[in-house]
Amino acid sequence: MRLLLVEDTPDLARAVQEFLRGEGHAVDHAATLDEAGAAMAVAEYACVILDLGLPDGSGLTLLRNRRGAGDRTPVLIATARDQISDRIAGLDAGADDYVVKPFDLRELSARIRAHARRGQGAPANRLAVAGLEVDRAGAKVWRAGEELRLTAREWSLFEALLGARGRILSKPALEEALYAFDDTIEGNAVEVYVSRLRQKLGPGVIETRRGLGYMIA
């Protein structure tokens, strides 16, 4: 895979490049925003590893610009900024992942692979279902680019239905998904959460098979 490493610390950049090349990737290096912007404009990368504190500005600027231009290349932020506000800002700007320095190179590589696969159309965890885009690893759902926020119980039920896509799941089977949260489940809990899911996901996503259960076609 072809990767772009945007990092202004030469020794760290060299070590990461060397490691990733050893993993079989082709790695371009940019030490500034300008270099990174120029590289992204001419080449297609499977994943970009982006530092935030660069000599000519913040990596977030580049990320926002690329996302604004419709570039969906997976971006993994690798930075020394460890505060949650920085992380939220990075994810809000369109980053796919956020790693704080110092990091384990093998873990970095694993994350790059996961995001690169998604970007290259091998979406093991990324699905398109009934007009929805679903990220199973990240427990996220979008409709027309807008994220739909599901609660943990709603996601748990939705994921169970998603895992059995095309098959009917009985009410007891769906109750299993909710047992992770409560030892005792109310008799109508499944109906309640299916109703809430329908309100959030829209009509036609979850079908009721009377007397049998529910399914996502």
Partner 1 sequence: MSASRPRWSLVGRLTRHVLATVAAGWIATMGLALWALTHEMNEMFDEEMEKVAEVTALLLDSAEHGHGRDAIPRALGLSPDDGEQMMRIYPEHGTPPLAPWPAMAEDGFAEAEGWRVYRQTADEAVIEIGHSRAWRREEVLEAGSAFVVLLLPLLALVVLLARRVVLGALRPVGAFADQVGARRPDDLSALPDAGLPREMQPLAQALNLYLDRIAALRVAERHFVANAAHELRTPLATARAQLELGGSAAAPAAIATLDTLTQRVERLLQLARTEAGLGQHRGETDLLRVLPLIVEEVARQTGVKARLDDGDLTALPLRADADALAILLRNLLENAVQHGTGEVRLRLEPAGVLSISNAVAEGAAFRPAPFERREGSGGMGLGLFIAETLARDLGLVPEWRIEAGRATVRLDFAALRP
Per CB under 8 A, residues contacting partner 1 are: 9, 11-12, 15-16, 18-19, 53, 80-85, 87-88, 100-106, 149-154, 180-181
Are 142 and 133 contacting, i.e. CB atoms less than 8 angstroms apart?
A: yes
Nearest approach, Cβ of residue 101 and partner 1 (Å): 4
90/213 with CB nearer partner 1: 90
Nearest approach, Cβ of residue 82 and partner 1 (Å): 6
Are 46 and 1 contacting, i.e. CB atoms less than 8 angstroms apart?
A: yes
Nearest approach, Cβ of residue 9 and partner 1 (Å): 5
Nearest approach, Cβ of residue 205 and partner 1 (Å): 18
105/164 with CB nearer partner 1: 105
193/214 with CB nearer partner 1: 193
How many CB atoms lie under 10 A from the CB of residue 102? 9
Residue with the two structure tokens 């007397």? 211
100/168 with CB nearer partner 1: 100
Taking the alpha carbons of 157, 158, 164, 168 in that order, is the dihedral positive or negative? positive
Nearest approach, Cβ of residue 160 and partner 1 (Å): 16
Name 191's Cβ contacts closer than 8 Å, sequence gap at least 6. Answer: none
Structure tokens at 105: 């190179």
67/196 with CB nearer partner 1: 196
Residue with the two structure tokens 């580049």? 62
Structure tokens at 38: 């120029």
Residue type, 36: A
Q: Report which of 129, 186, 194 is spatially closest to residue 163, judged by C-alpha positions.
A: 129
Nearest approach, Cβ of residue 151 and partner 1 (Å): 4
40/75 with CB nearer partner 1: 75
Name 59's Cβ contacts closer than 8 Å, sequence gap at least 6. Answer: 6, 33, 36, 50, 51, 52, 53, 77, 79
